Amino acid sequence: MTLKVYNTFTRKKEDFVPLHDNRVNFYSCGPTVYDYFHIGNARPLIMFDVFRRYLEYSGYEVNYIVNITDIDDKIINRAIEEGVDFKDITCKYTDAFYEDCEKLGIRPATVHPRATEFIDDMQKLILRLLENGHAYEIDGDVYFDIKSFNGYGKLSGRDIEQMQAGARVDVNDQKKNPFDFALWKAAKPGEPSWDSPWGQGRPGWHIECSVMAMHYAGDTLDIHAGGQDLIFPHHENEIAQSEAATGKPFTKYWLHNGFLDIEGKKMSKSLGNFLIINDILKKYESAAIRVFFLLKHYRSPIDFSEERIQEAKAALDRLRNAYAKITRVIKKSEKAPSDNPANLTATEVIHLKQNKTAIIESMNDDFNTAKAMGHLFDIAKIVNSIDENAETSLVILQEAKEILDTLGSDVFGIVFESTAQTDSMVDELVQLLIELRAKARKEKNWELSDLIRNRLKEIGITFEDRQDGTTWKFG
């Protein structure tokens, strides 16, 4: 079964056929680094990370590009507010972006280009658009002439004439059309700026993405992704300026994620429900956040609430319990190899394989992670239901492990071992055994105290008796 993706451009699910054999050029609009990223921004980052992993799992070589917008009005305003250089802002929040991605288990992209490294290329593209009549200059600003481009509105389904009729036209606006957008902006006093054929200035936001995408992927991308809010004007403008310059289609498949609300309300600073990743991670585990997103199809709206995240946590625990059982039984069998013949025809093995196929089919249906997760839970159910001591248990659990490791871990990015939790639990359990051993020794029950010490040694935990008590270490 081939992968089908919903293409915003055609409003249909289409067979996914990359332009160049096995290689997929995949660009996702990245963050504007003027603040910490929030739980809404995490949705495209996590979901497109999963798509990239799934494409790789399916055998594609993925050139995954996530840009960093490091020059933009919001950044300049923030720098003015704080009285610092704009680079102080962008460096701080770019570092924070990488740190948060790591905490959320989002793999680094193949490349994370920064807009300010491509100013020359942006100017070259703008010159091309001026030369071929798609752009015009007014007092150091350069605008894209949307009427000069035949397909303007084709992604968002907007009609220029209707847009114009409904637009409020600024009296001072000298633009040919109120929707003509800035390719280059003349610098205002005190703003960061670069030399250009049109005087000191800086690029517009849309041109940044076109240039970085084309630099790393050529004139036509396989996939361009972002949140639904970016369809208009950002992606519409990217198409117009790129295609007007190259004469080639800019992107084959457009993918857009739905929006995240907080308890039914739009997230906003004024409502006080603006949740940044660092604050969320103080309360919830990263893997639970990932499961929360995976439980919903990426194009649907998603609501973040205490209840939903608790549900995700409970779902994660079910998977973890199953995984812990697998690890325990496999470990036990390594110590005492069983001579049971491998029984690959056990019904459970067949059910596991059916669920694996169902996960792949769900993912091939426009990355339906919600449905795929349902099958992952079915796998956990099978694992929980089997008798550890049965002859076939090892074979079944090995099969389940393979599915959980590849699809659950590698593709969905779910961490099955909860390190923070296990670390503290291991410590508490060993402390308990230290206490029991001390009690046994006090009662001169040497047999029990030796048993505790020796059994722990066997599983890799050593006691160290000191004058002030007993401590322990791995080894």
How many Cβ atoms from other residues are within 10 Å of residue 291's Cβ?
Answer: 25
Answer for which of 226, 404, 408, 411 binds ligand AMP (CB under 6 A) is 226
- Only one of the segments 44-52, 202-210, 365-373, 455-463 lies at the binding site for Zn ion (rule: CB under 5 A); that segment is 202-210
- Only one of the segments 163-171, 259-267, 389-397, 421-429 lies at the binding site for ligand AMP (rule: CB under 6 A); that segment is 259-267
Answer for which of 8, 43, 293, 294 binds ligand AMP (CB under 6 A) is 43
Nearest residue to 34 via CA among 73, 66, 8, 60 = 73
Question: According to the binding rule CB under 5 A, does residue 29 interact with Zn ion?
Answer: yes
Closest distance between ligand AMP and the C-beta of residue 75, in Å? 11
Helix axes 286-294, 369-385, angle to 10 degrees: 120
- The strand pairing partners of 470, in sequence order, are 465
Closest distance between ligand AMP and the C-beta of residue 358, in Å? 28
Answer for which of 50, 230, 359, 407 binds ligand AMP (CB under 6 A) is 230
Closer to ligand AMP by CB, 47 or 456: give it: 47
How many Cβ atoms from other residues are within 10 Å of residue 470's Cβ?
Answer: 17
Answer for which of 229, 423, 450, 465 binds ligand AMP (CB under 6 A) is 229
Closer to Zn ion by CB, 29 or 46: give it: 29
Question: According to the binding rule CB under 5 A, does residue 211 interact with Zn ion?
Answer: no
Closer to ligand AMP by CB, 149 or 292: give it: 292
* Residue 209 interacting partner from ligand AMP, Zn ion, none (CB closer than 5 to 8 Å by kind): Zn ion
Nearest residue to 192 via CA among 83, 85, 288 = 85
Answer for which of 16, 27, 31, 113 binds ligand AMP (CB under 6 A) is 31
> How far is residue 67's CA from residue 51's CA, in Å, rounded to a whole number?
17
Which residues, at least 6 apart from 136, have a Cβ–Cβ distance to it below 8 Å?
130, 142, 143, 145, 176
Question: According to the binding rule CB under 6 A, does residue 94 interact with ligand AMP?
Answer: no
> How far is residue 38's CA from residue 49's CA, in Å, rounded to a whole number?
16
Structure tokens at 246: 């190259």
Answer for which of 96, 106, 129, 209 binds Zn ion (CB under 5 A) is 209
Q: Where are the alpha helices (DSSP H) in 132-266?
A: 160-166, 205-217, 236-246
Question: According to the binding rule CB under 6 A, does residue 90 interact with ligand AMP?
Answer: no
Closest distance between ligand AMP and the C-beta of residue 350, in Å? 39
Q: Tell me the site size for ligand AMP, rule CB under 6 A.
A: 15
Strand (E) or helix (H) holding 227: strand 221-227
Buried b (16+ CB within 10 A) or exposed e, 55-64: bbebebebbb
Question: According to the binding rule CB under 6 A, does residue 201 interact with ligand AMP?
Answer: no
Q: Looking at residue 351, what DSSP letter applies?
A: H
Tell me the one-letter amino acid at 377: F
- Only one of the segments 252-260, 350-358, 366-374, 410-418 lies at the binding site for ligand AMP (rule: CB under 6 A); that segment is 252-260
How many Cβ atoms from other residues are within 10 Å of residue 254's Cβ?
Answer: 22
Phi and psi angles of residue 149, each rounded to the nearest 5 degrees, phi first: -110, 115
Answer for which of 7, 8, 25, 32 binds ligand AMP (CB under 6 A) is 32
Q: Where on the chain is the footprint of Zn ion (CB under 5 A)? A: 29, 209
Q: Where on the chain is the footprint of ligand AMP (CB under 6 A)? A: 29, 31-32, 40-41, 43-44, 226-227, 229-230, 257, 259-260, 267
